[in-house]
Every structure is written in C-alpha cells, then in structure tokens.
Structure 1
Amino acid sequence: MYRYKGFDSALCGGSMAALEAIVNAWMEGERPRIRQMSQSVRGQHIILSFVYEDTHELEQRIALQNPATAITGGYPRFFEDDTVEDRPTNPSIPATPPPMH
C-alpha cells in the first residue's frame, strides 16, 4: 500500500539543515521504499512530498507469501553458497560473449 509523507521547511524555522535532519531521520528509521518525490515552493519555504511503500508492510507480505524468506529478514538470497562449477550449464548460452565489431 502506498503512503504519503510531507515535510515543510516552515516547521524547521526555514533551516535547510534542520529539514535535512528530519528527512534523513525519517528515512533511516522507516526505511521507506520511495516511489515518487516532489519539491514545491510555498513563499520562502520548501515542501517535500514523498509517496512510498512501508518496507515493514512489504516484508510482512513477502514473509506470508513465502515463509522461507522470513528467515532472511524478508529479502530473498541472491547469492547462493554453490560455485559456478556446481551450477547446471545451458549449452545455448555461450560462456563468453561474442566479440563486438
């Protein structure tokens, strides 16, 4: 489910450093999966808008779909412990790419 979060520099006394600190704290704490971001100007202030997915919700959905991924924190393993030699080969895919002309 997508969510919306907005930040207004007016609430930070117009301080860009304070606005950055608030946005960074939110990103570090929530770890959102940002889908869209926009910046608007209202008078002398900046408004930052984010449309995002809550990663906690996303991890729960993934864990419910595949309980095996719950062990790895909701993220599938990309790198297996086996080596390249242990993997089956596909003869239709060449081991080396053809030379570029």
Structure 2
Amino acid sequence: MKFTFIKHILNLMFSLQFLILVGLIFAWNYNSGMTNINLNNYTIELQTNHLIVFTVIIVIFMNLIYRVLFWLNRLYRRWIIGTFKALILPLRRKNKIGISKK
C-alpha cells in the first residue's frame, strides 16, 4: 500500500514553503517602510524586517512539520500497523468486535 495521501500533503507543504519565500522577495522589494494591517478600526503597523522575521520563523516551523510527517510516514508501516494487528485482530477473531452472536 502506497501512502499517496501523505505524499500529497508533503508536496503541498513544500510548495507553500516556496510561495512564502517568493512572497519574502516581493515584501523585501516593494515594502520598504511600514506594513499596515487593518482589523476593524484597529491598525497594526509592522516594520518590514519584523514581517520578514515572522515569515522566516513560519518557514522554519513548516520545515519541521514536514520532517516530522516524513518520519511518521516511515514509522507508520512498522509500528502503528503492527500495534493495530496485535491489539485489534485477536479481538475480532473472538467476535468481541463486529457482529455479536445472540
């Protein structure tokens, strides 16, 4: 069984990392001063270098999540399926889970 769903999630996260880095380049070029964020009569003013630091931190966290999901994908085949077989399948053989006999 190939884990295509997890591979699609990992590819999506990797492409989102690339888009954030492209956005960093545009923010560096076009926002040379302050960045205003308007939220219902409340404005947040950020300097551009703070914005770039925040997006770099987001990219680092996305990279860590990418590594953890990749590690879980490798662990998934041996450990989780093995414990599922060891715990659930003997119960199903004794008919404790599934169709109960009357």
Q: TM-score, normalised to structure 2's length?
A: 0.25
**Larger C-alpha radius of gyration, 1 or 2?**
2
Q: TM-score, normalised to structure 1's length?
A: 0.25
Q: Which has the higher strand share?
A: 1
